[in-house]
């Protein structure tokens, strides 16, 4: 099929597609542009300035929330990626009874509506009498990070040539040695890309965190939500732009790693 | 196979199960058990100041959904909650229809691009998915509020004169927010279907004298059906239970199911009702998934980014 052939042009398709991309990106561009506004208003442009970024960097409450977010995301990513890697290795090989069920359970956090997970987790902690804190946030984050870490790792394993491991065995490598020297290095890009996705998802989560965060355990999205409810401000523009840019950077990096060595 | 071989197979299987065990245990304890507790809570009495009275069972939460208890303890039919369910349902239907209307042409456009261009555009479709939803919804507050960019832009174009736009904190704003959030979920699965489409079939249709419209309606759309169905589910279900968008763009006036659930854990202090509502939402989602997997068995669900 040659895309240049006029037979493949359908009326109205191109303008709608561009409308879609504009709709998707205009709000983001506007938000980032307004974050460089020097005035007191969140929407009226006055002059270019980095002043609100300085305000954000010097706000102890924001800095504490950012630290909490980073702490939770780092640990949630490490734990979820480790669990997901083991699970992906275990799911490899011939099908057995229960494997469909197991992969169903692994994708369950993607299926259950966020608000339901949030509510159920909150009641669970109340039931076992665990006080809400950063620790309860961490547990909840590990749960929903697992499928995001698992999917790229599993995809990577599936695309792996089994003959490589067989060749290693032929050359008298022990199973452990084969794992460390052949399987793991080949798996590493998948693990890295899974870990990055888990990290972004954890950094961005609001609904579940909002429910299981105890008093004082504020993460960045929870902080932003409560500020928005008090009204828009140039300070929110700046902190929002920082978060957006970090996410976009991570996705681009994860995409780049995924494209390499395919 | 001899006995030793069988034993070996068994050992391998056990090793594989052991590898999956930690993740399975984590999900079982911290997701499946909580969902079970949620079901249990929906059959309990609410505590006086939030929480529940463990061990005191009642069907009150489910009765509450349709009836209100009057002062003299008689039940009065109350459609408040049903209305919120209905609203959520219609707003989600509207969102899904809008997503289809823009999403299908966009997916078709993507599928008809050269490979390099297609990969770049696909990345552009997925980037917003990984960026913070809260922040992107906030951007819409900046755009839609009175005196915001949309308001002053329309005024500058001479489309509206004086007065305020008054669109923020209405159902329109909620639908715009939902469309904005879920459009990529419609584009990606439809694109996945179209990408696998054998375009020679369309060529054959043209050879047989079909017009573009006929080729689209009789060949392309039917073959893209699994993607359209997957996209519809991926848009409809999360918008039904969405919390952030109606909360921020609906201003707490245009409630949806998600907000109603949250209220029960906040000011309303009625955990059992919240649990029952959550359970209803979950049951609906699982039912939709079941219907989808039965109807499109074998067809790749694909497209979940």
Q: Is residue B1 part of a domain?
A: no
In chain A, the residue whose alpha carbon lies closest to the alpha carbon of B233 is: A111
d(CA B63, CA B41) in angstroms, rounded, equals 14
Q: What pLDDT was estimated at residue A2? A: 67
d(CA B254, CA B175) in angstroms, rounded, equals 11
Q: Is residue B77 part of a domain?
A: no
- A73 is written with which tokens? 């995301």
Between chains, do B237 and A113 touch, taking CB under 8 Å as contact?
yes
* Cβ atoms < 10 Å from Cβ of A206: 22
Residue B297 has pLDDT above 80, yes or no: no
Choosing among 2.60.40.640, 3.30.565.10, 1.10.3720.10, 3.30.365.10, the CATH entry for A60-260 is 1.10.3720.10
Q: Is residue B94 part of a domain?
A: yes
Could you report the per-residue pLDDT of A168-188, keeping only the tens digit for each? Answer: 888 888 888 888 988 899 899
Residue B114 burial class via C-beta count within 10 angstroms: exposed 0-12, middle 13-18, buried 19 and up: exposed
Between chains, do B23 and A146 touch, taking CB under 8 Å as contact?
yes
Distance from CA of A55 to the nearest CA of B (A): 18
Q: Is residue B30 part of a domain?
A: no
Residues from chain A that touch B179, judged by Cβ atoms under 8 A, are: 23
The rounded percent of chain B whose pLDDT value lies above 70 is 95
For the CA atoms of A18, A19, A20, A25, the dihedral, rounded to the nearest 10 degrees, stands at 90
Nearest to A116 among B206, B212, B281 (CB): B281
Q: Is residue B301 part of a domain?
A: no
Residue of A5, A7, A8, A27 to mutate when probing chain B, most B C-beta within 10 A: A27
In chain A, domain spans: 7-50, 60-260
- B204 is written with which tokens? 């054959």
Between chains, do B278 and A115 touch, taking CB under 8 Å as contact?
yes
CA atoms within 13 A on the CB side of A192: 16
Residues from chain A that touch B212, judged by Cβ atoms under 8 A, are: 7, 10-11
Cα-based distances in Å from B179 to A3, B235, B239, B267: 29, 9, 9, 29
d(CA A22, CA A118) in angstroms, rounded, equals 33
d(CA A143, CA A120) in angstroms, rounded, equals 12
Query: Angle CA(B286)–CA(B291)–CA(B295) in degrees, nearest 5?
Result: 150
Nearest to A90 among B19, B241, B289 (CB): B19
d(CA A203, CA A224) in angstroms, rounded, equals 12
Helices (H) and strands (E) in chain B, counts: 15, 4
Could you report the per-residue pLDDT of A202-260, keeping only the tens digit for each? Answer: 999 999 999 999 777 899 999 999 999 888 888 999 999 999 988 888 888 877 776 76
Task: State phi, psi for B203 to the nearest 5 degrees.
Answer: -60, -45
Helix ranges (H only) for B112-224 are 115-130, 133-144, 149-156, 171-196, 199-207, 212-215, 221-223
d(CA B249, CA B137) in angstroms, rounded, equals 8
Q: What pLDDT was estimated at residue A166? A: 85
CATH of the domain at B272: 1.10.3720.10
Q: Choose among A243, A242, A220, A245: nearest CA to A52.
A: A242
Domain housing B252: 87-295
- A123 is written with which tokens? 């009641």
Residue B77 has pLDDT above 90, yes or no: no
Between helix A234-259 and helix B133-144 the angle, nearest 10°, is 130
d(CA B302, CA B305) in angstroms, rounded, equals 9
Could you report the per-residue pLDDT of B104-163, keeping only the tens digit for each? Answer: 999 999 999 888 899 889 989 988 888 888 999 999 999 998 877 787 778 777 777 666
Q: Choose among A146, A80, A79, A137: nearest CA to A112.
A: A146
In chain A, the residue whose alpha carbon lies closest to the alpha carbon of B108 is: A13
CA atoms within 13 A on the CB side of A250: 24
Between chains, do B22 and A250 touch, taking CB under 8 Å as contact?
no
Could you report the per-residue pLDDT of A121-154, keeping only the tens digit for each? Answer: 999 999 998 999 999 999 999 999 999 999 989 9
Q: What pLDDT was estimated at residue B302? A: 41
Where residue A125 falls (left for φ over 0; alpha for ψ -120 to 50; beta otherwise) is: alpha
Element (H, E) at B56: strand B52-57
Q: What pLDDT was estimated at residue A258? A: 67
- Number of structural domains found in chain B: 1
């Amino acid at each position: 099929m040659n895309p240049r052939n006029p037979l493949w042009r359908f009326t109205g398709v191109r303008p709608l597609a561009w409308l879609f991309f504009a709709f998707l990106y205009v709000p983001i561009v506007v938000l980032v542009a307004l974050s460089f506004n020097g005035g007191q208003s969140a929407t009226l442009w006055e002059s270019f300035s980095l002043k609100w970024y300085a305000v954000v960097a010097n706000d102890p409450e924001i800095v504490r929330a950012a630290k909490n977010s980073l702490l939770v995301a780092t640990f949630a990513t490490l734990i979820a990626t480790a669990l997901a890697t083991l699970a992906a290795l275990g799911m490899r090989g011939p099908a057995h009874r229960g494997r469909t069920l197991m992969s169903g359970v692994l994708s369950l956090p993607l299926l259950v509506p966020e608000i339901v997970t949030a509510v159920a987790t909150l009641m669970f902690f109340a039931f076992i009498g665990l006080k809400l804190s950063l620790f309860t946030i961490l547990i909840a984050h590990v749960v929903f990070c697992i499928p995001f870490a698992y999917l790229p790792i599993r995809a990577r394993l599936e695309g792996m040539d089994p003959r490589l491991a067989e060749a290693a065995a032929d050359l008298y490598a022990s199973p452990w040695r084969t794992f460390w020297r052949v399987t793991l290095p080949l798996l590493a890009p998948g693990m890295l890309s899974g870990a990055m996705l888990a990290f972004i998802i954890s950094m961005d989560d609001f609904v579940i965190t909002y429910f299981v965060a105890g008093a004082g355990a504020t993460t960045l999205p929870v902080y932003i939500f409560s500020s928005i409810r008090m009204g828009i401000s140039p300070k929110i523009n700046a902190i929002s732009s920082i978060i957006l840019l970090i996410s976009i950077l991570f996705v681009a990096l994860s995409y780049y790693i995924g494209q390499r060595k395919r | 196979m001899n006995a030793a071989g069988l034993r070996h197979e068994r050992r391998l299987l056990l090793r594989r199960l052991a590898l999956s065990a930690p993740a399975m245990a984590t999900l079982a304890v911290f997701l499946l058990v909580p969902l079970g507790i949620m079901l249990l809570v929906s059959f309990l009495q609410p505590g006086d100041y939030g929480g529940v009275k463990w061990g005191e069972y009642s069907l009150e939460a489910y009765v509450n959904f349709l009836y209100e208890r009057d002062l003299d303890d008689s039940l009065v039919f109350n459609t408040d909650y049903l209305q919120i369910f209905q609203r959520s349902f219609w707003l989600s239907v509207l969102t899904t229809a809008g997503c289809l209307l823009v999403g299908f042409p966009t997916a078709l456009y993507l599928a008809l691009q050269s490979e390099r261009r297609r990969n770049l555009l696909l990345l552009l479709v997925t980037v917003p998915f990984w960026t913070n939803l809260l922040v992107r919804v906030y951007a819409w507050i900046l755009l839609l509020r009175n005196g915001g960019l949309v308001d002053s832009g329309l005024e500058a174009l001479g489309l509206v004169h004086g007065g305020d736009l008054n669109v923020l904190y209405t159902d329109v704003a909620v639908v715009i927010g939902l469309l904005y959030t879920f459009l990529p979920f419609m584009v990606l699965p439809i694109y996945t279907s179209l990408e696998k489409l054998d375009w020679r079939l369309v060529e054959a249709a043209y050879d047989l004298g079909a017009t573009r419209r006929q080729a689209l309606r009789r060949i392309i759309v039917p073959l893209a059906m699994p993607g359209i169905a997957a996209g519809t589910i991926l848009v409809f279900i999360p918008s039904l239970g969405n919390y952030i968008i109606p909360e921020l763009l609906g201003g707490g006036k245009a409630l949806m199911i998600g907000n109603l659930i949250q209220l029960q854990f906040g000011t309303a202090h009625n955990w059992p009702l919240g649990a029952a509502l959550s359970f209803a939402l979950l049951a609906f989602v699982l039912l939709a998934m079941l219907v989808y997997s039965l109807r499109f068995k074998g067809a790749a669900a694909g497209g979940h980014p």
